Structure formats: C-alpha cells, structure tokens
Amino acid sequence: MTTGVPGLDTVLNGGLLPGGVYIVQGSPGAGKTILANQICFHRVHRGEKVLYVTLLAESHSRLMQHLSRMSFYDADCIPSSVFYLSGYDDLENEGLEGILRLINRESQKRGASLIVIDGVFVLEETVHSEREFRKFVNYLSTLAALLKATILMLTNSKRTQASPEYTMVDGWFELATSTEGYRSRRHVQVHKFRGSGFIAGLHNTEISNDGMRVLPRLEMTEGIGADEAELGRRTTSGLEQLDGLLGGGVPVGSTTLVLGPTGIGKTSLGLHFISRSSDEAPGLIFGFYETQRRLEMRAKSIGIDLAGLTQQGRVEVLWQPPTEHVLDALGYRLLEAVRRSGAKRVFVDGIGGIEQSAAYPQRIPSFLAALTKELRDEGVTSMYSAEVPQVLGHQSDLSFGRISAVAENIVLLRYVELDSRLRRLISLLKVRESDFDAAIREFEITDQGVRVGQVFRHAEGLLTGHAHRQPPADV
C-alpha cells in the first residue's frame, strides 16, 4: 500500500504491507505526526477509512491547527473518513486492555484499514514491566491480522535494536535530526522491514507546507538504462574551433568537465554550449552563482541571445540561491527539471556548489557517478564547470576534483604570462572513445564570443604559467 510520501515508497520498495504493524520512532519535532497524517490523508483519498488514536492529554484542536497549513490536509474528510480519538481516558481507567478494546471497537465501527497510535511512549510509562508491554505489542499484531488493518505506532522513546518489541513488529522506521557544525539536517532510516526489500542507510528528508519528502540516496537508485543507439553520435560544443579539437564535436550523452581558475571563461564556454539548444533538444542551465538576469547580461556581452532562448522555451535557467542545500535535493531537482522540460543539453555552472552541499564528502564520487548516469539515461549531453585554485602553475599542481573520475571529456583552461601580459590557454586532456587534438592553443573572449586561436609555436614554459619566447634558430 502506497504511503503518498514522496520518496518513501522508493525506499520501502513499493510501500507498506497491508495488515502489518510498524513502529515509527523519533525525537520530538522529527516529523512523526506529519508523516503519519500525510499517509492517512493519502489512503483516505484512495477511498479508505482511517482511525487516529492519540494518547496525550491535549485536545485535537492544536493538532488540527498545525495540520491545516499542510497541502495534503483536507478538512472535508473529518470526521467522515479520518476519525481522531483520544485514548487518554481509556488508558487511565482501564490500562492497556482499555486501549485494545477502544481500537477494536472503533476500527470495526468505522471500517478503518489504517490505524495510527500516536504517543506509544505513554503506554511504556504506564506498564509495570517490559513483559506487559511486549504482550500488548503481541496482541496488537493479532488485532491487526483480525481487522485486516495496518497499524502505525508513533513513539518518542529511544529504544535499541535489542528491545524485544522491535522483533515482534513488521517494520521499524526512525526519524531523526543531526547537526554538523551550524547545519541541521533531517533523515529517515529503515532498521527493519519484514516481507520486502528496502534501501538501507540514512536518507535525507525535508518538511515543507506540502508535508514530508524523503530523498533516497541517489547512488542507490537504479536508472532506466542508456540508449545504445546514441553511441558514436556527436553534437556541437557550441564552438566550431573546439569541435575540431574534439574530433567532430562532443559525444552525445557524454559528460564534459571544464576546469579553470576564476575569470578564465568557464561560464562563457558553457553559454556557447547551451546556445545550441533547440525545440527538439532543449537546454537547461543549473547554476549556483549567477541569477538568470546576470547570465542573460553576460551572454549578451559575448553575442549570445540567452534571453531570447528562454522566452522561446528552448532554455530553462534554474538558479540555486546561496543558502544551505541538501545534496540529494539538488540532484532530484536537476533530474526533475530535465524530465519535465525534456532537456538534452545541461550546463551545471559550478560543480563546487554541489560538493559544498554534501554533509559527508566521501559520498561525492558515487553521487556524481549516479547523477551522470541518470542524465545519460535521459539522453542528456552535459557540461560541468569546476574552479581550480591555481591561477598560474604547473598542470601537475592542479586538482581536478572528484568529478574528473566520471567526466568523459576534460577541457582545461588556464592563464599564462607572456610579454608581461596574461593570456588564456585551452587544451584537451581526454575525450571519450575518440582521438583529439592535444595541442595547447590560445583563446580570447570578445563581444562576438569565444575565439580559439592557433597553437603556441614560439614560446616555452606554457605549463609553468610563466612562458618565454623561444630563442631565434641561429642562436
């Protein structure tokens, strides 16, 4: 049975199993109540009935007040399809047996297929022994089978995997928050899920006015498989001179990494690449440092009408504001934009923005490998820009970053000092499945765009960044 929580069904390999009993554990504020209610209203919209039992002394008015801000909340379903009941008095007067009788009676009366028990930690505080609480969980499992209903138990208690009740339920999910430095993140982890496979480990979550969203780790999802028919085809890089160096253009479906120091022209090269977008092959710019308006102004300064391309619907610009991001959220936002627009050209302006969003830097290589695979499976030819700290220096001193392991084509831009003037150089380090021109050439940026020049034939020390003219032949 689907949950209606984006991403959670992917983690659970389809959703919850009908008739199962699941523990949802988490500290206050982790999102347990939002998650449970989101599932409730999703099932109600599929024609089912839901019973929501709270064990706290507070009224439901405050709960309704907070839920009313959520887009999934539907007041018309209360109390016709979603029934909120307080079990506090039954627990106080009759103990655990009173709660079981309440659930049995009300679920049969309402015809509920989903039952939520919110505040299970109150039950644990009420019982006199662990054995008594285990018996309650066992009776609850029997009741779920008899009623043919799925039961969610929400608890704040910090139990461990050794706790006996966790061996008796069908699933155990934990919602939690973590803090690294000044940044706080939410995540969910499935510790147990009986009867089905699931994606283990931590998965980031987000809570907004639309409710909770689970972001399965991108490297753990499976793509649809690349189209082998595209192998061997070429597409233009946006510059005729660069296409010649590449041996006829960029291989379709490949990933190109443009490396260079600040101000060298990485974005300009990417704008040329995206300028070849069309109605049949739309383009997408996914950037971190420049807004759409600034990009349009920069493109205009080198003779590219980016504003016209966006107005025609051939190019979409997605700008990520300079705030804290969640790594997987960026990946899914990019992929969703590609699938929505049908983009076949993607320029990611500033791969450093993706790397900085990673709470665990060791994930970056596998994440980028998964992202590039997903883009390739969608038939996308992509280009990334990455900044290197060295303005001048040996090539061996350059750090190509983690993306270089998955980049099939690498273009290196660098400065060189010659005749007391900084010049721009371009060279290719590799091109997938193709021979290429590895010569070092000068290029310049004009109001007509990037112009790639001839090979440097009369200078030495180009790789050092401090070139000098070759002496005359007679000397």
- Go through 381-419 and write b for each residue having 16 or more CB atoms within 10 A of its CB, e for each that does not: bbbbbbbbeeeebebeebebbbbbebbbbbbbbbbbbbe
Query: Residues with Cβ < 8 Å from 61, sequence gap 6 or more?
Result: none
Q: Residue 31 — pLDDT band, cuts 50, 70, 90?
A: very high
Domain total in the chain: 2
Q: Residue 121 and residue 153: Cα distance in Å, rounded?
A: 10
Asked whether residue 240 falls in the same domain as residue 190, the answer is no
Asked whether residue 211 falls in the same domain as residue 255, the answer is no
Asked whether residue 144 falls in the same domain as residue 31, the answer is yes
Domain membership flag for residue 118: yes
Domain membership flag for residue 2: no
Query: Residues with Cβ < 8 Å from 271, sequence gap 6 or more?
Result: 238, 295, 298, 299, 302, 304, 306, 347
Question: Position 346: which residue type?
Answer: V
Res 361: pLDDT:
85
Segment 132-177, tens digit of pLDDT: 888 899 999 999 999 999 999 999 877 666 676 778 899 999 999 9
The mean per-residue pLDDT over the stretch 12-31 comes to: 93
CATH number of the structural domain spanning residue 437:
3.40.50.300
121 exposure class (CB count in 10 Å sphere: 0-12, 13-18, 19+): middle
Res 418: pLDDT:
76
Domain membership flag for residue 35: yes
Asked whether residue 180 falls in the same domain as residue 314, the answer is no
Segment 189-220, tens digit of pLDDT: 999 999 888 999 999 999 999 999 999 999 88
pTM attached to this predicted model:
0.84
Q: Give the end of a domain, one of 216, 242, 271.
A: 216
Asked whether residue 67 falls in the same domain as residue 104, the answer is yes
Res 221: pLDDT:
76
Q: Tokens in use for 270?
A: 């990417």
Domain span at residue 137 reads 8-216
Asked whether residue 274 falls in the same domain as residue 418, the answer is yes
Domain membership flag for residue 223: no
Q: What is the mean pLDDT of the chain?
A: 87
Segment 33-71, tens digit of pLDDT: 999 999 999 999 999 999 999 987 567 888 888 899 999
Q: Give the end of a domain, one of 187, 216, 245.
A: 216
Asked whether residue 202 falls in the same domain as residue 67, the answer is yes
Domain membership flag for residue 409: yes
- Is it the case that residue 6 has pLDDT exceeding 90? yes
Asked whether residue 259 falls in the same domain as residue 296, the answer is yes
Q: Give the end of a domain, one of 216, 239, 262.
A: 216
In 55-201, where do the E strands start and end? 82-86, 114-118, 150-155, 171-180, 183-193
- Is it the case that residue 457 has pLDDT exceeding 80? no
Asked whether residue 125 falls in the same domain as residue 60, the answer is yes
Asked whether residue 184 falls in the same domain as residue 256, the answer is no
Segment 252-274, tens digit of pLDDT: 999 999 999 988 999 999 999 99
Asked whether residue 251 falls in the same domain as residue 182, the answer is no
